[in-house]
């Protein structure tokens, strides 16, 4: 809504003004923008289903301290929203909380975001199935949000479920009242 839009516009425009342009350094001065992107990926992971074959015997621990044994060569299926909307980890897990990942406590929660077939805090390797472009996805998403709020103060939209994801239609855009 308008309150969040105003906060994002203020944060983004201040960081860009301080850096002189929209740079990676400017993006790093936008904790709310980063949090909004992570929250969007947490709420609706782009790839909800993952699967793989266990390469060795595994013991998996859930957030409520239950243990599950997975034997070598067994198929593992994961449904990301079970992890990303776990009420034991995320308060109001079904609700979009823009500043969920701001501050030291928020930064600790980032390890529980699994949109990329692995922890957000992990780096992909050739030995796992984590998305090798995950950092680029987050960076480009932050750039899109920043570019948007450099140009617009606010917007309204209609969101609906569409096929396997969602569809968003912008119904109004308010041009920026202050330039970068």
114 part of a folded domain: yes
What is the tens place of the pLDDT at every residue in 107-164?
A: 999 988 888 888 889 998 888 878 899 999 999 999 999 999 999 999 999 988 887 7
Q: How confident is the model at residue 62 (pLDDT cuts 50, 70, 90)?
A: confident
Strand, coil or helix: what is 126? Answer: coil
Q: The domain that contains 135 carries what CATH number?
A: 1.10.630.10
180 part of a folded domain: no
Q: Residue 14 pLDDT > 90, yes or no?
A: yes
131 marked as binding residue: yes
Angle, helix 134-151 to helix 31-43, in steps of 10 degrees: 120
24 part of a folded domain: yes
Number of domains in the chain: 1
* Boundaries of domain holding 112: 2-175
- Alpha carbons 101 and 97: distance in angstroms, whole number: 9
Q: How far is CA 91 from CA 5, 35, 53, 101, 104, in A?
A: 23, 15, 32, 12, 16
What is the overall mean pLDDT for the chain?
91
115 part of a folded domain: yes
The dihedral built from the CA positions of residue 30, 36, 39 and 40, taken in this order, carries a sign that is negative
pTM of the complete model = 0.86
């Amino acid at each position: 809504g308008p309150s969040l839009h105003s906060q994002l516009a203020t944060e983004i425009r201040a960081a860009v003004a301080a850096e002189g342009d929209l740079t990676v350094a400017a993006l790093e001065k936008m904790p709310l923008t980063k949090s909004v992107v992570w929250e969007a990926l947490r709420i609706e992971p782009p790839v909800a289903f993952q699967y793989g074959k266990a390469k060795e015997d595994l013991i998996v621990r859930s957030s409520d301290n239950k243990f599950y044994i997975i034997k070598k060569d067994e198929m593992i299926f994961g449904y990301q929203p079970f992890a990303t909307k776990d009420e034991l980890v995320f308060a109001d897990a079904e609700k979009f909380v823009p500043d969920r990942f701001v501050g030291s406590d928020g930064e600790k929660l980032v390890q529980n975001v699994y949109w990329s077939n692995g922890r957000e805090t992990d780096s992909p390797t050739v030995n796992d199935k984590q998305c090798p472009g995950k950092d680029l996805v987050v960076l480009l998403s932050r750039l899109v949000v920043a570019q948007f709020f450099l140009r617009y103060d606010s917007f309204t939209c209609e969101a609906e479920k569409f096929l396997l994801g969602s569809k968003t239609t912008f119904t109004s855009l308010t041009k920026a009242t202050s330039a970068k």
